[in-house]
Amino acid sequence: MPAYRNARLPAERRVRDLLRRMTLEEKGAQMRCVWERKAETLVDGKGRFDPAKAARHFRDRLGLGQVGRPSDAGGALDPGDNAELTNAIQKFFVEKSRLGIPVMFHEECLHGQAAAGATSFPQPIGLGATFDPELVERVFEATAAEAAARGTHQALTPVVDVARDPRWGRVEETYGEDPYLVASMGVAAVRGFQGDGRFRDKKRVIATLKHFAAHGQPESGTNCAPVNVSGRLLREVFLHPFREAIRKGGAVSVMASYNEIDGVPSHASRWLLRDVLRKEWGFKGFVVSDYYAIRELAERPELFGNHLAEDGSRAAALAAKAGVNIELPDPDCYLHLVELVRKGVLRESLLDELVAPMLLWKFKLGLFDHPYVDPEEAVRIAGCEAHRELALEAARKTVTLLKNDNRAVPLDPRRVRTLAVIGPNADRVLLGGYSGRPKRFVTLLEGIRARAGKIRVLHHEGCRITVGGSWHQDEVVTPDAAGERKRIAAAVRVARRADAVVLALGGNEQTSREAWARNHMGDRASLDLVGLQDELVDAVAATGKPVIAFLFNGRPLSVRNLAEKAQAIFECWYLGQETGQAAAEVLFGDVNPGGKLPITIPRSVGHLPAFYNHKPAARRGYLFDDISPLYPFGFGLSYTTFSFGPPRLEKKSIRRAESTVVRVDVTNTGPVAGEEVVQLYIRDRVSSVTRPVKELKGFGRVPLAPGQTETVVFEITPERLAFYDIDMKYRVEPGEFEIMTGNSSRDEDLQKTVLRVR
């Protein structure tokens, strides 16, 4: 038996033995993937494995590194057929390639697997609003179990970009604007996907951190644009979540980003992928390319090119030298790797270096020893009742109450006999980007009707945001204004018949999404409500009926008009498949909202940047306008009230290498149970370089019964005080640090004490 076939040997030894047996061509094959070309090479029109196609296209018996998104074969496969397909493809490569190297299957799993029948959880921006890493870990443990049962080995998730420009259409894929919050959620997601990293129970998958790096603050807010930030800001804000997810979560894979930093696209950056990722951080996993990004080092005629390379062959050389292990999604530039080695442009030892970690994780995943899955298990677990309940819990914890004048909510059934549910998002399936087709989806209208009891529920769309509105629909069509005003007039007639109005507004899956092509845009130059939604707000408010607004959107929206005219506002982001039930429970008070904003809501696009952790000179004021945000980071109301005691330091003076703890008492002073998110912010008063006015360095979501007091304890370690000083050394400087605790980032919501570091 060859050593690489011996399951009793360490994976590292098996890798060495296998590499020694592989030809140059077989090594090149492991650095390639098939996705859109599945229909040409592996499957028939119905998504079933086609052995004749496979035999014809892989007759060289070299094997293949990965197959992308088998769940979308033939359109969309149900769980059982999906598992049958991965088994059939795997069997072909195990039995028909010369060395029997299994393939790895990857899938999109942004908020649940993007596949038919899979459970759909809230979008990451919504999960960020929960401020609950333990919940996030459970969400992605469930996602991993559903994906693994279908044959998936790698999830192209989580996104740990720090979103600092709301104009960017991919904000919904992130956990928000703060590096500490994003890192906390990213670590939790990795642990959910990978568990202890041993993959022995076949219920976990490899996590992929993306997009490395600084993708979340593109120039002009447009996707893939250059990121113009200093080295210090790059490390402290944008690299921090990646480093933490590798160091504390053990992430196995990283996806390089489309954007450039200091003139060098990430896929060609040896400094980023070798010096920082591998040498500084000790990363031992593998780097995957973003889709088509290696080609873009040269030129993608239908989109753009970075023009670092004259053609695909030279682009391949740049990416390989930088340290990109595999090209996604289809064979293109890396088809030239063997030729580049033969010409002496690349060394074969470089291919060995890049192939080895991918083989290592195929061994650690057990693919050489137990490569197949049970289709019946895939059917059983996909969208199961336990995961549905988890999706509902996540949706409940996501909902964030921004305004509640005169206790407009929860609704009192004794005062509301007829309720009008109006708006373009009232009766619409809204999941956001990178979503599958869950077994069920409850719209807001459906959820309210199911919960309303004897309350009569009326409905009108009011106006439309776009015509159609699918995430996959390239062209964005805005409806005719004259027709929309007729709809608004009809909606007003409905509103007049009601005692109160629920307005369902915001965006849809076209108005905020990944802009992946010139004909498929998603970034915006405005943050105002799209279409005639503000006219709808004005018209309904003019009836004098109480207005309760639910916002569904993928990015912060400058809803100034709504904030003036609605009595209550809920920010929901995208709540996943249980949208309607969770929203209705909050509306009627069955659930007390406890979400907090993971990103600032600005007054207008002209107020950008609006992130809270700015430098001291950055928010001096505007002529004729308020500089403050509409709603700040960390903000969120409740149906109860909470009081905070002052922060108490265990030691008020410490040495630079020492730690201390701060304690804060929080009491539920209201009539109902609720959950409060206690937040810790720190500011270095005097430092060798300018520091943010405050930085989140701890948080805890605390459930409290009426009258209950809980003491929340935060550890203040050197890591929470350190930064890159004037000499770019990461250290703690002596001096005074403001320690701030409260329930949002606003100064008026925080109490302070001072820690002295000597």
Would you please indicate which residues are annotated as catalytic (active-site) residues? 290
Helix or strand or coil: residue 107? strand
For 597-628, the three-class secondary structure string (H helix, E strand, C coil) is CCCCECCCHHHCCCCCCCCCCCCCCECCECCC
Residue 530 near residue 169, CB atoms below 8 Å: no
Hunting for tokens 């209208």 — which residue is that? Answer: 445
Residue 448 to residue 588: CA distance in whole angstroms: 9
Contacts of 289 (CB under 8 A, 6+ apart): 255, 256, 267, 319, 324, 326, 327, 328
C-alpha 127/C-alpha 139 separation (Å) is 9
Nearest to 432, CA basis, from 582, 554, 551: 554
Question: Phi, psi (5° rounding) for residue 112?
Answer: 110, 155
d(CA 252, CA 329): 19
Given the DSSP bridges, would you call strands 286-288 and 547-552 parallel, antiparallel or unpaired?
Answer: unpaired
| 124 close to 184: Cβ distance less than 8 angstroms | no
Helices (H), 227-331: 231-233, 240-247, 270, 312-322
Give the three-class secondary structure for 696: strand
The two structure tokens encoding residue 258: 């489309």
What is the Cβ-side half-sphere exposure of residue 678, based on CA atoms within 13 angstroms? Answer: 25
Helix, strand, coil tally for the chain in percent (to 5):
35, 20, 50
For 715, the token pair is 């550890």
Q: CA torsion angle for 495, 497, 499, 500 (degrees, to 10)?
A: -10
Distance between CA atoms of residues 142 and 577, nearest Å: 15
**Cα–Cα distance measured from residue 660 to residue 725, given in angstroms and rounded to the nearest whole number:** 22
Q: How far apart are CA 587 and CA 448, in angstroms?
A: 8
For residue 747, what are the contacts with CB-CB under 8 A and spacing of at least 6? Answer: none
Cis peptide before 211 (omega within 30 of 0): yes
Could you tell me if 355 and 348 are in contact, meaning their C-beta atoms sit under 8 angstroms apart? Answer: no
Question: Which residue, 509, 494, 529, 508, is CA-closest to 421?
Answer: 494
**Residue 256: alpha-carbon gap to chain centroid:** 16
- Distance (Å, whole) CA 652 – CA 656: 13
Q: Distances from the Cα of 447 to the Cαs of 129, 385, 577, 750, in angstroms?
A: 21, 18, 11, 37
Give me the residue label for tokens 């007829």.
Answer: 418
Give buried/exposed letters for 375-407 (b at 16+ CB in 10 A, else e): bebbbebbbbeebbebbbbbbbbbbbbbbbeee
At a CB cut-off of 8 Å and minimum separation 6, what does 82 contact?
70, 71, 115, 116, 150, 151, 378
Nearest CA to 516 out of 347, 254, 304 is that of 304
Nearest to 127 by CA among 580, 592, 576, 674: 576
- R_g (Cα) of the chain, nearest Å: 26
* Main-chain dihedrals φ then ψ at residue 93, nearest 5 degrees: -75, -35
